[in-house]
Amino acid sequence: MEDFDLRSQILDSKDISEVEMVIPEWNNAKIVVRELNGADRADVMNQSLKKDGLPDLTKLYPLMVIKSVRYPADHKKHGERVFSVADRDSLGQKSGAILERIGGEAMRISGMGKKERDEIQGN
């Protein structure tokens, strides 16, 4: 039997993936979309569902962008979040198609498969 620290092996693993995107409509802004960790994913779910269990899309896509969008590797703030919760209303005024594109990518890499996306989106 091998002697190793399974807890450390799991907690020290780098298991959060990232995808770089260029958003042409935002003057070719280069962003990194980072997979949501467990806490962020739960937070998005809790904040974006209404009492009837249906998603509040005015909150869902801005929250996905807030939680997942990071500065790219060639920026001095590499890895830091671009937006904060204070930006939610401002982001809500941006193109819904762009928010959905970024949010959809964040959902995809966060393991929120079609079933989970449909549940969140009320389909």
CATH number at residue 36: 3.30.2220.20
CA distance 57 to 63: 10
Q: 10 lies in a domain?
A: no
Tens of pLDDT along 47-97? 988 888 888 888 889 999 999 999 999 999 999 999 999 999 999 999 999
Q: 56 lies in a domain?
A: yes
> In this predicted structure, what is the pLDDT of residue 53?
81
- Residues whose CB falls within 8 Å of the CB of residue 10, separated by 6 or more in sequence, listed in order: none
Residue 109 has pLDDT above 90, yes or no: yes
Q: 6 lies in a domain?
A: no
Q: 57 lies in a domain?
A: yes
> In this predicted structure, what is the pLDDT of residue 49?
85
- Domain that includes residue 98, residue range: 16-121
Strands 69-70 and 29-34: antiparallel
Q: 31 lies in a domain?
A: yes
Share the mean pLDDT of the chain: 89
Q: 7 lies in a domain?
A: no
Q: 111 lies in a domain?
A: yes
Q: 68 lies in a domain?
A: yes
Task: Return the amino acid letter for 77.
Answer: K
Question: How many domains does the chain contain in total?
Answer: 1
